[in-house]
Chain A
Amino acid sequence: MSLKKQEYLSNVLSTHRMSHVEELVNKFKAKRDEVKTTLQDKYGSDIYSPFDSGSFKKHTAINIKFDLDIVVPFKRNSFDTLEKMFDDLYEYLEAEFGDVAEVRKQKVSIGLLFKTDDDGDDVNLDVVPGREFNQDQYSEDRKLNLHLRNNTIFTSDSTYIQTNIQEQIEHINGKSDERMVIRLLKIWKHYNNEDFKSFLIELITIKAFKKDDISGNLWEKLEGVMNYIKENVIKEDFKLKDPGNSNNNVMDTLDNAERTNLSNRMETLIDRINNNAQNIKSYFPLNDDFEDEESSSEGYGIKIGSGIASTPPSTERFG
């Protein structure tokens, strides 16, 4: 029997829904809230309210890989340098959580990897410190300078990056079609061990919808985005502006070889699936852990994740 690609992809999204791991998500949220509270107690008036970011906040999370980020906006005069801000936060988190978690410095964040609990669950959070760009202006402009450690993110050798994380979250708000494609590409990335940044996938998908005619069913939309990636990432002048700071070009995170590799990957993927629809299963597998739950006879069912609106058929007759 021929495989209906759009129906299959809907199932892929469904089996990767976050609602399947609700208990684990609740553990993440509880830890996140605990960390936020301790940060507010420690830094008091030196910070603005910490807020949530990451794939969970953006509704692009998949249940095999997701993160909850906490952004901590420090006031301009709280530390002399971004490095001191970063180190102070690291030392505090190490002192506070070091006995229950591995605390480690990452590129722009501090990772907290809590010890595996009795259920075998691992909870990890990223805490991202940022310092307001202009004194007392954060509430209005939301601009932050992040400390950049061992800069391999951008091709420049800067030790900081200016951005607006709220703007990055806003950028994806309400884009339900884009979110579905982003989640599918993240599923491909995860199962195929691709190391392209999720942020790059997010931005390029949104740009594809904006610049190209991406329409049709779920497969056609995914194919449209993959075609856009294939054709554009190899162009020298192709840019992906960080919505938080238009001076940051996220394409700079890839060198020429990586750009060509990404383009080739997309081409192979499209060709192989169009040659034989069954190939879609190897690139976009179902999450076996939750496959059976899709036919559950309990609860309210959702067809394709909780990512898109429900619109009634145009005409119906009742008696």
Chain B
Amino acid sequence: MKIKNHTRKVELNIDENLLEDIASIGIKHYPNEFGGFLIGEYSNNFKNLNITDFILPNSYKGSPYLFERSALGLEEKFENIFKEKGNYYIGEWHTHPSSSTKFSKTDLDAMINIANCETVTIKNPILLILSVSKTTLNHYTFYIYDDKKLTPYE
């Protein structure tokens, strides 16, 4: 599946099976929020992003309106993914149980922190929000971060 963000004139590709895998893990945690890290590779001209995988946090806290994850213990994994495959940590995903895919102020603040973090070498991290019910994925929206703003892909 290919979607576009017209603000930065970029494309994003994700295999539908990979998206389904992410969603099914999120649904398992219903009614609490859950999430993780997104992995991907950029084209040589940095106009296309292919999401290739995801990583789950070793530790997290989830409630119906909040998700806090830790990246501790995963540093080597991110390093190896880059060394072996040239893939980057490119962003985050989390669920909004029985809610819309609109991002919250907390989500935006998190993305600002991520973009400003020294160990994050990308400037435009991705945020994927999945609206889930007890058994199904309702909707999902991919956002790209740029200059303290999140804009959706279409």
Contact = CB atoms under 8 A, between A and B. Distances in A.
A312 B69 CA distance: 11
Interface string B70-83: 11100100110111
B46 A302 contact: yes
A318 B66 CA distance: 6
Nearest to A304: B121
A302 B65 CA distance: 32
A313 B94 contact: no
B71 A318 contact: no
Contacts of A198: none
A312 B36 CA distance: 11
Contacts of B49: 300
B105 interface: yes
Contacts, number: 126
B121 A316 contact: no
Interface string A160-184: 0000000000000110100000000
A302 B72 CA distance: 23
Taking residues whose C-beta sits less than 8 angstroms from the other chain, chain B's interface range is 35 or more
Contacts of B89: 309-312
B107 A318 contact: yes
Interface in B75-123: 75, 78-79, 81-83, 88-90, 92, 94, 104-107, 110, 113-114, 117, 119-123
Query: Secondary structure of the A side of the interface?
Result: loop
A311 B44 contact: no
A303 B123 contact: yes
B35 A311 contact: no
A22 interface: yes
A314 interface: yes
A103 B82 CA distance: 38
A186 B69 CA distance: 40
Given A308-B82, A318-B35, A319-B104, A300 B122 contact: yes
A22 B137 CA distance: 40
A268 interface: no
Contact of B71 (A174, A302, A312): A312
B82 A176 contact: yes
A238 B78 CA distance: 36
A312 B123 contact: no
Nearest to B94: A318
B56 to A, nearest CB: 13
22 contacts: A22-B44, A297-B8, A297-B146, A300-B47, A301-B122, A309-B81, A309-B121, A310-B82, A310-B120, A310-B122, A311-B119, A312-B37, A312-B78, A312-B120, A313-B114, A313-B117, A317-B67, A317-B110, A318-B67, A318-B68, A318-B106, A319-B66
Interface of B: 8-10, 33, 35, 37, 42, 44-47, 49, 65-72, 75, 78-79, 81-83, 88-90, 92, 94, 104-107, 110, 113-114, 117, 119-124, 146
